[in-house]
Structure 1
Amino acid sequence: MDSFQSSGVNEPLLQPKSPPSPVAAEQVSSLLEETLSDTTLSWWSRLRKATVIEYKYLYQLAAPAIIVYLLNNVISMSTQIFCGHLGNLELAASSLSNNGIQLLAYGIMLGMGSAVETLCGQAYGAHKYDMLGVYMQRSTILLMITGIPIMFVYIFSEPLLILLGESKRVASAAALFTYGLIPQIFAYAANFPIQKFLQSQSIVNPSAYISAATLLVHILFTWLALYVFDWGLFGAALVLSLSWWIIVVAQFVYIVMAERCKKTWTGFNLMAFSGLWGFFKLSAASAVMLALETWYFQILILIAGLLPDPEVTLDSLSICCTILGWIFMVAVGFNASASVRVSNEVGAGHPKSAAFCVVVVTATSFIIAVVFAIVTVILRHQLSYIFTSGEVVSDAVSDLTPLLAIAIVLNGVQPVLSGVAVGCGWQSFVAYVNVGCYYVVGIPLGAFLGFKYNLGAKGIWAGMLGGTTMQTIILLWFTIRTDWNKEVEKARSRLDQWHNTKEGQLMVE
C-alpha cells in the first residue's frame, strides 16, 4: 500500500469495497503503464510491482462481478425450487421455460449488451466520459426493439414446444410460465446496458448489493404469490419478471444519484437515436458470439436425450452441467474483469498495461480452475449425492468426472479470452470461430462419437469438448499474436470518428 501512497493515489480509493472513481482509475492505470515502462527497474522488480497493482484492481472488479452473476442465477433457480414444491408438472414446466425458452432471450440480450462493454470501456479509458451515457441509451433502444420479435416466440411458445416433441400437458404448463416472463425480456434489454455501463467504470459493488437485496425480496414475493395468493405458475413467473425490473430501476436510480456517475451520465440525449446501424452491427456480432456459447451445452442435453437409457444419462449430465455452471460463474467474473481492464487500457493508450492485464487475469482464472478440477476429481464419488441418492446416477457422474474436470479447466481460460475479445471489439471474429469450432466441429463430432461408436454421453461430451479446445487454442493464439499498439490506434480511431461526426454516428469496423 505504501508504494501506492507515494505515487499520489489516495488509500481509500484502493480499498476493495470502494471502487475507484474516474480520477483514481486514471492514476492506477497510468501508474501501471509507468511501472511496466520503467527501464531503471529490473525485470523482476517491474513484474512484482506491476502484479501488485493489477491484482488490487482485479480483485475489486472480479469478486463483486462473480457475486452479481451468482445471485442473478440464484433468483431464477429459487423460482424453479418453489415451483418444484407445487408438483412434478410445475417443476418440469418452469425448468423447460427457464432453461429453454428464457435462455434464448438471455443469450441474445447479454450478447448484444456486451457491445457496450467494448465501447464504454474504451471511451472511459480515453476520458471521453460523456459518450458512455449515449452508448448505454443507444444499446437500450436496440435491445428493446430486439425484444419485440423475441416476445412473439414467448407468445407462441406452446405450439413451438409441441413441435419440438414435448407433450401437450407439459407444453401448456411451460407456456403459462413463459407468458409471465414476457416483461423479463424488456428488463433484460434495460439491465445489460446499465450493468455494462457501470462495469466499464469499475463500479460493480452497487450491482452486487442490489442483487442481494432483490433476492430476499424475490423469495418473499414468490412465497406470497404461490402459497398465499395461489397464483400458480403464471404468478411465479410474474414475480421473477418483477424482480428483474427491481434490479433495473435500482441500478438506474444509482446512476442518476451517484457522484461517481456525474461525468458519465448527463441525462437523456437524442444522439442515442443516431448511428444505430453501426451500433447494431457490433451488437449483433456480440450476440452471435455469446449466444452460441450460452446454447452450446444446452444442445448437449438435448442430444443426450436421444441416447439409450436417457433417464440416467440426462440425470448424470444435468448434474455435471449444474456443477460446471456454478464454477463457470467464477470464470464469468474474470470475463467481466478482462473486458473492463482491456477496454480501459486500450482506450487510455496503454498497450503494455493491456497486454499485462490479459496475462494476469488469464493466469489467475486458470489456476483457480485447476484447483476446482482437482477437487472435483477427488470428490467424484460424492458429487451426485448433493442432488440425488441414486447409486446408478452416482456411478454415471463418477464416470463423467474426468470430462467434467477438463471442461472446468477449459472454462478457466476460454471465458477470459472472450472477455479480452469484447474489450478489444473482436466480436465478429470470435463469432466466426464459435460457429466453426462449436457447430461445425464440436456437435457433429460429439454425435459421431456418441452414436456411431456407442460411447454414449461420454462420446457426445468428448466431441463437444474437442470443439471448445479448438476454440480456446485459436483465441489464445490470436491473443498472443496481438499487436497492442495497433489495438490502441484502432480504439483511438473509432472514438475519434464518433466524436468528430456531427450526427454522433459510430463507425464500427
Structure 2
Amino acid sequence: MGISDERTDLQRPLIDPTDSERKPLKDVGLESVLTESSLSYRWRVYLGACIEMKLLFRLALPAILVYLVNSGMSISARIFAGRIGGMELAAASLGNSCFFLVYGLMLGMGSAVETLCGQAYGAQRYDLLGIYLQRATIVLALVGLPMTLLYTFSYPILLMLGEPKTVSYMGSMYIAGLIPQIFAYAVNFTAQKFLQAQSVVIPSAYISGAALLLQILLTWITVYVMGMGLMGIACVLTISWWVMVVAQTLYITTSRRFRHTWTGLSSKSFQGLWSFFKLSAGSAVMICLEMWYSQILVLLAGLLKDPALSLDSLSICMSVSALSFMVSVGFNAAASVRTSNELGAGNPKSALFSTWTATFVSFVISLAEALALMMSRDYVSYIFTSDADVAKAVSELCPFLAVTIILNGIQPVLSGVAVGCGWQTFVAYVNVGCYYIVGIPVGCILGFTFDFQAKGIWTGMIGGTLMQTLILLYVTYRTDWDKEVEKARTRLDMWDEKKESLQN
C-alpha cells in the first residue's frame, strides 16, 4: 500500500461522503476528530482546525462588531457635543470618562454569566441558563443602585478633583442624563452573554447596529431641530441603550429558539445571590483593572515635562491601540464561549484545542496589525492631526505601540479562556501584581527618575502586560483540562442541589 493509499484510509472514518455509515466533516464533533485513533496526529490537527476556525470566526466577527458599535455610540455623542462648542465637548468627554467606571464594572460583572451559562449550555442543562440570566440581572441592578448616588453627586465630586467649575457643572448635567443607562447596562450585558453562551451573536450585532443608526438620527434631531444641546445628547444616548435592551429582551422571550433556555421568570433566581455576587466581583475586578491600566498611562503623561505633546501623542497611540484591541476582545468572547461550552460538554481535548487555536489566530492578526503600523508609522498620526511635532512623537512611540498591539493579541484571549474556566479571581490577583505592583511603578521610575518620559512610562506598562501574559500562558499550558471538566460538572451539580456556594 502506497503513502497516498494510506492517507486515504486515514481520512475515510470521518470525511468519506460516499460511505453511508460515516459522517461528513460538518457533522463530526471536534472531540470526535481529536480522539479518532485511526487518524494521524497531523490529520487530527488539520481537521480539528477546520472545524474550530469555522466556529471561532462565527463567534468572533459579530462580537467585534458589537463592541465597535458600543464604543461608537459614545464617540458619536462626543462628536455632536463638539459641534455645539468646545465647552460642551469637554463636558461630554469628562462625563464619558467618569461613566467609563460603571461601563467597566457592569461589563466585568456580566462576564460571570459567560462562565456559568457557557458551561451549562455545553452540559445541555438548558434550564439553568434562564435562571443565571435573571440572577445576574438582579445582582448587576443592585450594584447599580450605589452608582446612581455617585453620579447624582458628580458635581461636587468633580470640583473636589480640581476640575473647572463650568465644565464640572455641564459634565454633571450630562452624567445625570446617563443615570438610567446604568440599569440598561445591567440588562444588556447579561443578555449578550446569555446569547453568546449559545453561540447566538449575529442578532446582537444587528440590534447594536440599528441602535447606533437610531442614536445618530435622534441626536441630530435633538441638537439641530429641537435645540436641546448637551442634555439632549445624553438622553438620546440613554434611550438608544434601552432600545437595545428592549429588542434583546423581546428576542429572548419570544423566539422559539430559546424555548429550552428561557422558561420564564423563576423564584430560583433569587437564591444564592451572594455567591453569584462573589463570582461576578472577581470578573469585575479582572476586567476593570485591565481597562484602567491604559487610562493611567494617559494620566501620568500629564505630569511629564511637555504634557501637551505627550498627551497628544499618547492619545493618538491609545486610539490606535483601542481600535486593534476591539479585534482581540471579539476573540476574547469567542474563546470564552468555546472553552466554557466544551468544558460543560465534558470535552477536555476540545477545550484545550479551542484555547490554543483562538490564541494563535488572534496573535497572527495582531502581528499583521503591528507590521502595518510600523510601515505607516510616519503617517498614521495625520489621521488625527496635522501637527508635525505630534507626528514625530507618535512615530517614535510606534515601536512601543506595536509591541503593545502584539501582546494585546494574546492577553485578552487568555483572559477569555480564564472566564470560560471560572478563573476570574485568580486573574484579578495576577492583574494587581503585574499591572499595579510592577508595571506602573517601573514605568514611573523610567519615565520620571531616569527621564525617559513617555517612552519610559510605556516601557513599564509593557513590562506589566508581558509579565501577565507569560503567567497566563504558563497557567494555561499547565492546566489539567480533565480536572477543569470535573470542576464545571461540580459547579452545575451544586446548583441543582440548591447549595449556596459556586466554585471558582
Band of TM-score, shorter chain? over 0.9
Larger displacement relative to structure 2 (256-265 or 237-246): 256-265
Secondary structure of 1:128's aligned partner: coil
Q: Quick one: which of 58, 61, 86 aligns to 1:60?
A: 58
Q: Which of 202, 205, 210 lines up with 2:202 in the alignment?
A: 205
Q: Distance in 1 between matches of 2:453 and 2:305?
A: 8
Post-superposition Cα deviations, 1:146-201, rounded to whole Å, max 9, x if no partner, equal: 00111112112122222222111211111111111101111001111100000000
| 1:508 Cα offset (Å) | 2.8
Letter in 1 for 2:428: A
Shift, 1:225, TM fit: 1.2
Please report how far the alpha carbon of residue 95 of structure 1 lies from its aligned counterpart in structure 2 after TM superposition: 1.1
How far the C-alpha of 1:256 sits from its partner, in A, is 1.2
1:254 aligns with 2:254: no
Q: Work out the CA distance in 2 between the residues paired with 1:261 and 1:386.
A: 45
Q: Which amino acid aligns with 1:89?
A: M
- What is the aligned partner in structure 1 of residue 95 from structure 2? 97
Quick one: which amino acid aligns to residue 205 of structure 2?
Answer: A
- Give the counterpart letter for 2:502 in structure 1: M
What residue is the counterpart of 1:87 in the other structure?
A: 85
The aligned runs of 1:308-347 (5 Å cut-off) are 308-347=305-344
Counterpart position of 1:464? 461
For residues 396-415 of structure 1, the aligned pairs below 5 Å read 396-415=393-412
Give per-residue Cα distances to partners, 1:231-288, cap 9 Å, x unaligned. 1111101110111111111011111122221110001111100110111110000000
Alignment check: 8 A CA contact 2:15 2:24 kept: no
Secondary structure of the corresponding residue to residue 508 of structure 1 = coil
Secondary structure at the aligned position of 1:85 is classed as helix
Number of residue-to-residue matches in the alignment: 489
Q: Partner of 2:262: helix, strand, or coil?
A: coil
Q: Counterpart of 1:77?
A: 75
What's the counterpart of residue 293 of structure 2?
296
> Residue 436 of structure 1 aligns with which residue?
433
Q: Does 2:350 match 1:374?
A: no
> Higher mean Cα deviation, 256-265 or 275-284?
256-265
How far did residue 70 of structure 1 move?
0.7
* Distance in structure 1 (CA, Å) of the matches to 2:22 and 2:228: 58
1:188 counterpart residue number: 185
Is the contact made by 1:281 and 1:508 (CA closer than 8 Å) also made in structure 2? no
Letter paired with 1:494: R
Deviations 1:299-329 (A, max 9, x none): 1111111112211111110000001001100
Q: Which amino acid aligns with 1:508?
A: Q
TM-fit CA distance, 1:506: 4.9
2:90 counterpart letter in structure 1: A
| 1:9 to partner: Cα distance | 7.9
| 8 Å CA contact 2:15, 2:23 repeated in 1 | no
1:482 to 475, 479, 483: 479
CA contact (8 A) 2:304 2:453 kept: yes
> 2:149, 2:204 → 1: CA distance?
30
Distance 1:166 1:45, change over 3 A: same
Q: Give the alignment of 1:236-247 within 5 angstroms.
A: 236-247=233-244
After superposition, what is the alpha-carbon deviation per residue over 1:124-146, rounded to whole angstroms, capped at 9, x for unaligned?
Answer: 00000000000010000000000
Q: 1:450 to 1:40 in 2, by over 3 A?
A: same
Does structure 2 conserve the Cα–Cα contact (< 8 Å) formed by 1:177 and 1:233?
yes
In the alignment, which residue of structure 2 is the partner of 1:507? Answer: 502
Superposed CA offset, 1:320-377 (max 9, x none): 0001001100000000000000000000000000000011100000000000000001
Residue type at the aligned position of 2:203: P
2:254 and 2:303 mapped to 1: Cα distance? Answer: 53
Question: Which amino acid in structure 2 is aligned with residue 71 of structure 1?
Answer: V
Aligned to 1:170: 167
Matched residues in 2 for 1:453 and 1:505: separation? 52
Contact 1:443–1:460 at 8 Å: present in 2 too?
yes
1:378 & 1:224 partners in 2: Cα distance? 42
Structure ID, larger Rg: 2
> TM-score w.r.t. structure 2 length?
0.95
TM-score (norm 1): 0.94
Contact 2:487 2:503 in 1 (8 A): no
Distance, in Å, in 2 between the alignment partners of 1:8 and 1:281 is 47
* Counterpart residue identity of residue 503, structure 2: V
Comparing 164-173 and 138-147, the one that deviates more: 164-173
> Which amino acid in structure 2 is aligned with residue 230 of structure 1?
G
Q: In the TM superposition, what is the alpha-carbon distance from 1:505 to its structure 2 partner?
A: 4.0
In structure 2, the CA distance between the partners of 1:10 and 1:64, relative to structure 1 (3 Å rule), is: farther
Determine which of 127, 138, 153 is the counterpart of 2:135: 138
Equivalent residue for 1:283, pick from 263, 280, 284: 280
Distance 1:436 1:456 in 2: 23
CA contact (8 A) 1:131 1:264 kept: yes
Which structure 1 segments of 5+ residues have no match? 15-26
Cα distance in 1 for residues equivalent to 2:147 and 2:30 = 44
Q: 2:164, 2:86 → 1: CA distance?
A: 14
- Tell me the distance in 2 between the aligned counterparts of 1:506 and 1:123: 16
Distance 1:268 1:10 in 2: 40
**Aligned equivalents of 2:59, 2:259: Cα separation in 1:** 20
Cα deviation, 1:437-456, whole Å, max 9, x if unaligned, reads 11111111111111111111
Q: Secondary structure at the match of 1:294?
A: helix
Distance 1:53 1:487 in 2: 22
Structure 1 SS opposite 2:492: helix
Letter in 2 for 1:38: E
Cα–Cα, structure 1 residues 122 and 263, in superposed 2: closer, same or farther, change >3 Å? same
Structure 2 stretches lacking a partner, 5+ long: 1-13
Alignment partner for residue 445 of structure 2, among 436, 444, 448?
448
Aligned-partner Cα distance in 2 for 1:421–1:234 = 40
Deviations along 1:88-147, one digit per CA (max 9) or x if unpaired, are: 11111111111x211100111001000000000000000000000000100000000000
Q: Structure 1 residues 374 and 116, CA, compared in 2 at 3 Å: closer, same or farther?
A: same
CA distance in 1 between partners of 2:48 and 2:316 (Å): 40
Give the distance between the partners of 1:181 and 1:381, measured in 2 at CA: 39
**Following the alignment from structure 1 to structure 2, what is the Cα–Cα distance between the partners of residues 508 and 166?**
44
Partner of 1:41: 39
Cα displacement (A) at 1:10: 9.6
Q: Which residue of 1 aligns with 2:231?
A: 234
3-state SS, counterpart of residue 84 of structure 2: coil
CA offset digits 1:354-410 (Å, max 9, x no partner): 000011100000000000000001101111100111111101110110000000000
Aligned to 1:218: 215
* SS of equivalent to 2:346: coil
The residue aligned with 1:153 is: 150
SS at match of 2:451: coil
Given that 1:125 and 1:343 are in contact with CA atoms closer than 8 Å, whether structure 2 keeps it comes out as yes
Which amino acid is the alignment partner of residue 52 of structure 2?
E
Q: In 1, distance between residues paired with 2:347 and 2:268?
A: 29
